[in-house]
Amino acid sequence: GAVVSQHPSRVICKSGTSVKIECRSLDFQATTMFWYRQFPKQSLMLMATSNEGSKATYEQGVEKDKFLINHASLTLSTLTVTSAHPEDSSFYICSARDPGTGDGYTFGSGTRLTVV
């Protein structure tokens, strides 16, 4: 089935620095990828929809200047958390769907971000 690869799996960074998270569709082309954030014991909250070759669509309340999304190719989307603060510590996870298989949305393995 469709496979989505996400890196890194864990990252610890200092407050004020930036962190980039990559999400790749390995065996299909994804014109659209979705970025979610999940706090402990909570649901997945959609942050933004990443569109290949165009600007991302951000959900209400998500700062587009803080969470930079780039979807430069049909297989790669990146999320950069800029000027990270401890409250940005969370589990970030991407997803995409292979329209050619009829499968449900496939998730990356997630990135545990800890800002110290």
Rank residues 44 and 76 by Cβ distance to another protein and give the closer one. Answer: 44
Cβ neighbours for 73, distance < 8 A, ≥ 6 positions apart: 52
Q: According to CB under 8 A, which one of 46, 62, 68, 76 is a site residue for another protein?
A: 46
Q: Mask: binding to another protein, 54-93, rule CB under 8 A, as x and -?
A: -------------------------------------x-x
d(Cα 84, Cα 41) in Å, to the nearest integer?
Answer: 22
Q: By CB under 8 A, is residue 114 in contact with another protein?
A: no
Token match 């706090």: residue?
A: 39
Selected binder of another protein within 21, 97, 113, 115 (CB under 8 A): 97
Q: Rule CB under 8 A: choose which of 3, 26, 55, 105 binds another protein.
A: 105
Among 19, 21, 23, 34, binds another protein (CB under 8 A): 34
| Strand ranges for the chain from DSSP E | 4-7, 10-13, 19-25, 32-38, 45-51, 57-58, 67-73, 76-81, 90-96, 106-107, 111-115
